Amino acid sequence: MIDFRLDEEYEALRKTVRDFAQHEVAPVIGGFYEREEFPYELVARMGQMGLFGLPFPEEFGGMGGDYFALCLALEELGRVDSSVAITLEAGVSLGAMPIFRFGSKEQRERWLPALCSGEALAGFGLTEPGGGSDAGATRTTAKLDGDEWVINGSKSFITNSGTDITQLVTVTAVTGEVNGRKEISAIAVPSGTPGFTVEPKYSKVGWNASDTHGLSFSDCRVPAENLVGERGRGYAQFLSILDEGRIAIAALSVGLSQGCVDECLRYVREREAFGHQIGAYQAIQFKIADMEVRAHTARLAYYQAAAKMLRGEPFKKEASIAKLVASNAAMDNARDATQIFGGYGFMNEFPVGRFYRDAKILEIGEGTSEIQRMLIARELGLR
């Protein structure tokens, strides 16, 4: 019989992160959000809790857990705030994971301990200006000059790329041409490397307490041994990283969806209109019931995708389904929660206002909803 109950270790982790989110993140995150300030103190605390090391082996300073453990943590953080959640998601699945999956022994030993402890962050430089969903249209170049790569180009919308604790960014670059097609490789560029410029932070609609920058490279030189994985396999490596990341984004989206339900349940028991608590009105009850259905369904979707991934089975379709369903649920629940709160839902001081601003990017980042539909159709044999 299928059993969706969490075992003791997963449940203990979920409760620990939930307590942290409620008692340490919730009271202060609104201020960080309004100031558009990166919450270094909260990130340091997450590092101390071992959250950045959850899916990595202990030999690299990790917790020896798995990717599902990371997803549970992201869901609980997302119930309170997405900026903190995406900092963890990007730091692990986009920053450290390429080094762990494809890096050399020396690269792992050099960079993973600090990334697993949360003392340092790493970025994932794939998207380029004008490229968007067409990530294969890479224009950034890297040419070998003796024992160094010389990198020129730019990247956009890169999370965790400009903080005081950002250690490196792994970027995709065209390193040659094979049979008339671009050879795209992945190269690790440490922060502070001459020729590597972090552009001013973006003015964003949401995720205001997370770090997002454009990056530029002008004759930026790094050692040849900074090649991550096999030359010419960078694009394929990053696509596999994105498959995993979509499960993580689905978990974060479920957290936001459930957070909308949490906030609405509190509010409708306090707010009165026309002589009754508004939770007594069927129109409100039905709206919240639909919100709970969306969150519940999306959770099951990412649970299944994570289960297939951990069993070593193909999971591309399930990851796309989870990401599509969960991001839609987040956007729909945020809209309904804002409506239930009325004018208060339009105020940033209330969590649902932040949820509404944060939800839209979940339908865009790590593959738009349209890309997810395309991937699902391909997995069904429609080409």
Tell me how far apart the alpha carbons of residues 200 and 346 are, in angstroms, rounded to a whole number.
28
The answer to whether 21 touches 81, Cβ cutoff 8 Å, is yes
Distance between CA atoms of residues 267 and 271, nearest Å: 6
SS3 category, 380 = coil
Residue 84 to residues 36, 106, 377: CA-CA distances in angstroms? 12, 30, 33
Which among 59, 366, 370, 379 is annotated as catalytic?
366
Give the pLDDT of residue 1: 63
Per-residue pLDDT of the chain (383 residues; tens, 9 = 90+): 677 889 999 999 999 999 999 999 999 999 999 999 999 999 999 999 999 999 999 999 999 999 999 999 999 999 999 999 999 999 999 999 999 999 999 999 999 999 999 999 999 999 999 877 776 789 999 999 999 999 999 999 999 999 999 999 999 999 998 888 899 999 999 999 999 999 999 999 999 999 999 999 999 999 999 999 999 999 999 999 999 999 999 999 999 999 999 999 999 999 888 888 989 899 999 999 999 999 999 999 999 999 999 999 999 999 999 999 999 999 999 999 999 999 999 998 899 999 999 999 999 988 999 999 999 999 999 98
- Domains of the chain, by residue range, sit at 8-122, 123-232, 236-379
Running DSSP on this structure, what letter comes out for residue 204?
A: -
Span 301-321, pLDDT tens digits: 999 999 999 999 999 999 999
Cα separation of 199 and 36, whole Å?
16
* Residue partners of 231: CB distance under 8 A and separation at least 6: 175, 183, 185
Q: Which of 331, 311, 145, 299 is nearest to 220 (CA)?
A: 145
Note the pTM of the prediction, 2 decimals. 0.95
Whether 366 is catalytic: yes
Q: How deeply is 241 buried, as exposed, middle or buried, from its count of CB atoms within 10 A (0-12, 13-18, 19+)?
A: buried
Cα 174 from chain centre:
25
Superfamily of domain 236-379: Butyryl-CoA Dehydrogenase, subunit A, domain 3 (1.20.140.10)
Please give the sequence-ordered ranges of beta strands (E in DSSP) within the chain, or none if there are none.
121-125, 141-145, 148-159, 166-178, 181-190, 196-201, 212-223, 227-228, 272-273, 276-277
Residue-level pLDDT at 3 = 78
Assigned CATH topology for domain 123-232: Butyryl-CoA Dehydrogenase, subunit A; domain 2 (2.40.110)
Mean confidence (pLDDT) of the chain: 95
The pLDDT score that the predictor gives to residue 161 is 96
CATH code of the domain occupying 8-122: 1.10.540.10
